[in-house]
Amino acid sequence: MAGEEVLRRCMRATVVAARAVILGGVGSVCLALLQLGDFTPVPSGWSLAIPVLGGVALGLAEMSVHELVGCVAFMVVMAPALAPLLVAFPASEVERNDVVRAALRNSLAADALLLLPCVLAGIVLGRWVKGIISSRPQPMRHTPRRAD
Amino acid sequence: MSTRRSHELWAWTTLAVASIAAIVLLVATERRYLEYVGWTREVRASLEAASLRHNGEAVVLNAVIALEAPAVGFKSTVERVEFTLDQGGRRLGYFFTLPGDMVVTPPADVGARPVAVTRITVTKDASRELAASAAGAGGGPPQRAGEDGESAVAQLAGDVVLVVTLPRGERLVRVPVAGEVGMESGG
């Protein structure tokens, strides 16, 4: 029985970690798009819809509050670390310049602050939608009547 | 299907949609960014001919600059040319062109060639800048050819400033240009 419980907890932790990693990736892409705003085919503000969608996904999920907080914290830490790789990996000479790179990092830190309210708004939206889905009348199930 | 499983399914679906949207946007953006980075690496400016012609009190600078840029679909326009002239370690002046000082001749067939050559013909009255520079430095006017028995030249160093139109904005790109300017005495 204890082994089953450990396995269940491990699977649970894996699912939460997978969500956090995906959300971190989505967040870093969003930051990269904000950095490359001039090159984006859609207005760069629209890229903020992506972390909102990620937040909705977290809000809809069956997660405890501390799991949610962990996911969001992971995203806020991971996204600014990954975004420069996405932006500057094919670096030109300008991006190799230390001063430019420092400016990029500062800008990323500022942009990362934008992610947090977006994800939180998404979580609230997701929880709201989840409440609506849950409050829908469930189909009747055949349950045996309790004998009085 | 239980409500709990339904929520989980919606959650994963939404996360998948967010991830796919992010990847699609990033690929589209990164491709244009790489084109831009490649473009800024390939673009070159060279001074084909330049002379500073003394015509009485007036000094007129004539220059032809060839701008080679890969044809990758970005619209670029020449904003101005900025440069300094130095002669024998002495700064003759700092110059920049106004719209009336230059004629930009675009390439004839951009689509057919991988690299398009735009010619910029600069004709600028440089008297004022040269006089101001000479007064500030306490030196005389620029040395002309034949004054001391050798051909006098000045060194031009500066940038062709381009405005590149990107999908959602404009960026200034500076393309360095350098070369020698012959000093001529006019009639």
Q: Give tens-digit pLDDT for A44-76.
A: 778 889 999 999 999 999 888 988 999 998 888
Q: Whose CA is closest to B178, among B44, B55, B80, B69?
A: B44
Residue B75 has pLDDT above 60, yes or no: yes
Q: Give tens-digit pLDDT for A77-135.
A: 888 888 877 775 544 544 555 666 666 677 778 888 888 999 999 999 999 988 887 77
Query: What pLDDT is recorded for position A42?
Result: 84
Query: At B177, which helix (H) or strand (E)?
Result: strand B169-185
Q: For chain B, what is the mean pLDDT?
A: 81
Query: What pLDDT is recorded for position B118?
Result: 85
CA separation, residue B1 to residues A51, A60, A129, A140, A141 (Å): 28, 16, 18, 13, 12
- Residue pair A88/A31 in contact (Cβ under 8 Å)? The answer is no
Query: What pLDDT is recorded for position B149?
Result: 44
Q: Whose CA is closest to B66, among B125, B123, B121, B111?
A: B121
Query: What pLDDT is recorded for position B112?
Result: 55
Q: Which residues of A touch B19 (CB under 8 A)?
A: 22, 25-26
Provide CB contacts within 8 A for A86, sequence distance 6+: A28, A29, A32, B26, B30
Distance CA B122, CA B103 (A): 7
Q: Whose CA is closest to B31, among A24, A84, A90?
A: A90
Mean predicted confidence (pLDDT) in A17-36: 88
Distance CA A68, CA A66 (A): 5
Mean predicted confidence (pLDDT) in B76-83: 89
- Residue pair A83/A31 in contact (Cβ under 8 Å)? The answer is yes
- Chain A closest-CA separation from residue B167 CA (Å): 6
Pairwise CB contact (< 8 Å): B21 & A43: no
Tally Cβ neighbours within 10 Å of residue A80: 21
Mean predicted confidence (pLDDT) in B69-86: 85
Min mean pLDDT across A8-12, B55-59, B94-98, B109-113 is at B109-113
- Chain B closest-CA separation from residue A147 CA (Å): 26
Among A32, A39, A62, the residue with its CB nearest the CB of B7 is A62
Q: Give tens-digit pLDDT for B112-125.
A: 556 778 888 888 88
Provide CB contacts within 8 A for A97, sequence distance 6+: none
Task: Give residue B175's pLDDT band: very low, low, confident or very high (50, 70, 90).
Answer: very high
